Chain A
Amino acid sequence: MNPAISARNLSKCYRLGVIGRKTLADEVRYWWLKFNGHDPYTYFSKIGQTIPKTQMVEAEREGQKRFWALKDVSFDVQPGEVVGIIGRNGAGKSMLLKILTRITEPTLGEATIYGRVASLLEVGTGFHPELTGRENIYMNGTILGMKKREIDAKFDEILDFSELEQFVDTPVKRYSSGMYVRLAFAVAAHLEPEILLIDEVLAVGDEQFQKKCLGKMESVGRAGRTVLFVSHQMSAITQLCNRAILLSHGQVIKDGKTQEVIDHYLEKASTHNKDGFMASENSSTNMYIERIQTLNADGTAMFNFSHNEPIIISVQCKINRWMDKTVLGFYVCDQRGRKVFTCNNPLWGRIDSQSRWIHSSVKIPANFLAAGRYFFTFTISIPYIEVVDSVSDAVAIVITDAGSDHLSAVNRGHDHGCVFANCEWNIRAIY
């Protein structure tokens, strides 16, 4: 039987210099430089690119004129499989989806897809603010490849799922963002393709609705449909997928059982750099995270801690241009991708906006995290508005248990969760 998706040596290459010529004026300048014997690439490769900054810098440093966003990616997906695609930002996950959905073409290689494909790279693609909920259901549905007939048949079901019956004839510009997402997802959830390609779309919407969507997607998988799912949420991947593919720098690093691949990914993240996280040099973004290190109480950089010592994380941010209302924060995930806690820096806003670097450190108290491996994601953002810089799984630490209660004879061998809670018991006996 044919596989649902069969990718052979898919590669996508960017020629760095060429992208820069966006206007006729640039074109003239390019030929002028060339005519005068200059190397036009040195000028043009600095113009804004579609490539993620980190990779571009890397390619530039190596003196390359081209950059491979994907290189020789090959895999087969059998019908009915639910496959997760993981990797760091800029590893090529989204590019892979863009090629499989035919938004763009590969430079080399070939992919064959057997079956009707629907893709979901964003919720609410093609929504028009002036149109009503009803009109947008049709608009969005047909853009995603449904026939009008199919939408007619499922209309009530979609409306029911979205829980927006009474607003169906209101223009969506009057919707709250939550309602907007619910409507959009309701349409997407009722697509019935044989193959579904999904990018990180679950990151939006309230938690309850997210669960509903995950449930719906799981049932999609069970119905024998093939799903390719890109996500940063390891928990969602673990929950939904029976197989995962790890991409790094545009190449397939590992392909196999979900848990194995996730372990490999997280492990790799921790050994990524012996000194903690370092940004690839000189980015021109307004603010970015330059360096992250985990230190022990003596100030020595290390990754292995015992549960009863504090962990100090030092973060250095480069400020090219100060942006108001930004906040530095981080969250911690355990090795299964569950989020343990989130922490924002309340002092950040009081900093002198003239400074060129901001150095902050945060202390995670001793006797807080239980044994295990933890991953820290750092973000500079303007809350609810913009993510300025984000480094996912930037540093990883391992905590070993140096004799806590969890190791006692009664408790050994169970999963006790991620944190030690210092709860107070009260006990009395009644006769």
Chain B
Amino acid sequence: MKQTVVDRYKPLYKTVIRANQPWLRIPWKEIAEYRDLLLLLVKRDLTALYKQTILGPLWFIVQPLVSAIVFTVIFGKVAKVSTDGVPHMIFYMCGTVPWNYFQGCMTQGANSLVGNAYLLSKVYFPRLIIPLSGLFTNFAHFLLNLLMFFSFFVYYFFFTNAVLKPNLFLLLFPLLIFQCALIGLGVGLWVAALTTKYQDLRFALPFLTQVWMYATPVVYPASLIVSPSYRLLLWCNPMSFVVECSRWMFTGSGTVTTASVIISVGMTLFLLVSGLLIFNKVQRTFVDTI
């Protein structure tokens, strides 16, 4: 009896546990194995978020709508910051829609280790699943945002005489959003890794994000910055390109140069790869220090 049991035992999996595995070993295969968990985490985040809220998913329309209105009033009407002739609402939403997606991805990524420390100290699954699930959860919010943006866009395009010249590059918009998600992921992974060591970063993050947003041409056009050295600095922030480019795709106004594409894609890849590596390094022992 015992013998048959042992015969039946044919392990398919082999796991080697040892110290200081190479940095580059990211368990992609394992992540694929856990894809059901990824989907469930997304579903859990979405359902848990909407249960017991009155407006439910509407929050994700109300919030960017209000911020676009606030920007219109403060930067458009009061400070009179130029929007290069684009209607205010459209101008700001072109910026806030991708920015919000980026911010969502980054925040969830940044919180993935410290925020789930309790869970992660009780069970193992590839930790990269958590920031990855953030991309999908926030994508759902992004779609709602986009829907609202489209309705405004359609209104301004057909029913007002505003100058909106969307171009064929708009077909590449999904690619741009993909880049936006990758930047969010890359930065989020960095912050997640750093917060395991310096927990005060958690409190600084909302503040730093805000500073970053004002450093990105969300409430002002990139054309406002003329000095070439500041320009270079601006493009080193990969989100500048994303925001300007989405504005250019939809309205035809915006600064997109070959240099900005190259620098921004390069920065994105750098942030993503280095983020993955540092996260992968830190996640292996972070429960000891948390």
Q: Which residues of chain A have a CB within 8 Å of any CB of chain B?
A: 1-2, 4, 14, 19, 21-25, 27, 50, 79-80, 98-117, 119, 121-122, 125-126, 128, 130-131, 135, 138-139, 142-148, 171, 194, 223-224
Contact between chains at B9 and A125 (CB < 8 Å): no
Cross-chain pairs A/B with CB under 8 angstroms, 16 sampled: A19-B288, A24-B198, A80-B6, A80-B9, A104-B287, A105-B20, A106-B18, A106-B19, A110-B16, A113-B14, A115-B12, A115-B13, A116-B13, A130-B52, A171-B51, A224-B2
Q: A121 to B44, Cβ gap below 8 A?
A: no
Q: Are A110 and B124 in contact (CB under 8 A)?
A: no
| Cα–Cα, bound, A379→B66 (Å) | 56
Top-8 shortest CB links A-B: A224-B5, A115-B11, A114-B11, A142-B37, A110-B18, A148-B36, A111-B17, A23-B200
The interface residues of chain A lying within 8 Å CB-to-CB of B6 are: 1, 79-80, 224
B167 adjacent to chain A (CB < 8 Å): no
Also in contact, A103 and B119, with CB within 8 A (given A116-B12, A194-B9): no
Interface membership of B24, Cβ < 8 A: no
Q: Which chain A residue shows the least CB distance to B2? A: A80
Question: In the bound complex, what is the Cα–Cα distance between A424 and B34 (angstroms)?
Answer: 64
Q: How far is the CA of A121 from the CA of B285 in the complex (A)?
A: 17
CB-nearest residue of chain B to A113 = B15
Residues on the A chain within 8 Å of B290, using CB:
50
Q: Which B233-290 residues sit within 8 Å CB-CB of chain A?
A: 284-285, 287-290
Inter-chain contact B44/A135, CB cutoff 8 Å: yes
Q: A79-B9, A80-B5 are in contact. Are A109 and B44 (CB under 8 A)?
A: no
**How many residues on the B side are at the interface (Cβ–Cβ under 8 A)?**
45
The answer to whether A147 and B47 touch across the interface, beta carbons within 8 angstroms, is no
Contacts of B200 in A (CB 8 A): 23-25
**A121:B37 contact, CB within 8 angstroms:** no
Q: Please report B residues at the A interface, Cβ cutoff 8 Å.
A: 2, 5-6, 8-9, 11-21, 34, 36-37, 39-40, 43-44, 47-48, 51-52, 119-125, 197-201, 284-285, 287-290
Q: Tell me the bound Cα distance from A122 to B122 in angstroms.
A: 7
A113 and B19 alpha carbons, distance in the complex (Å)? 15
Residues of B with C-beta under 8 A to A25: 200
**A22 contacts B44, C-beta separation under 8 Å:** no
Closest B residue by C-beta to A136: B44
User: How many angstroms between the C-alpha atoms of A114 and B12 in the bound complex?
Assistant: 8
A145 to B30 alpha-carbon distance, docked (Å): 11
Closest residue of chain A to B198 (Cβ to Cβ) is A24
Q: What CA separation (Å) do A320 and B122 show in the bound complex?
A: 31
Q: B40 contacts A138, CB within 8 Å?
A: yes
Contact B37 A50 (CB under 8 A): no
Complex contact A194–B11 (CB within 8 A):
yes
Contact of A104 among B8, B13, B43, B284 (CB under 8 A): B284
A104 touches B40 (CB 8 A): no
Chain B nearest CB from A234 CB (Å) reads 25
Interface contact A102-B17, CB-CB below 8 Å: yes
Q: Which residues of B contact A103 (CB under 8 A)?
A: 120-124, 287
Query: Interface centre among B120, B199, B288, by most A CB within 10 Å?
Result: B288
B288–A112 contact, CB under 8 A? no
Q: What is the chain B residue whose CB lies nearest that of A122?
A: B122
**Closest Cβ of chain A: how far from B282's Cβ, in Å?**
11
A86 to chain B minimum Cβ distance, whole angstroms, is 21
User: What residues of A have a CB within 8 angstroms of the CB of B12 in the complex?
Assistant: 115-116
Residues from chain A with a CB closer than 8 A to the CB of B2 are 80, 224
Given A102-B124, A103-B120, A105-B285, the answer on whether A224 and B17 have CB atoms closer than 8 Å is no
Cβ contacts under 8 Å, B125 to chain A = 143, 145
**A185: shortest Cβ distance to chain B, in Å?**
15
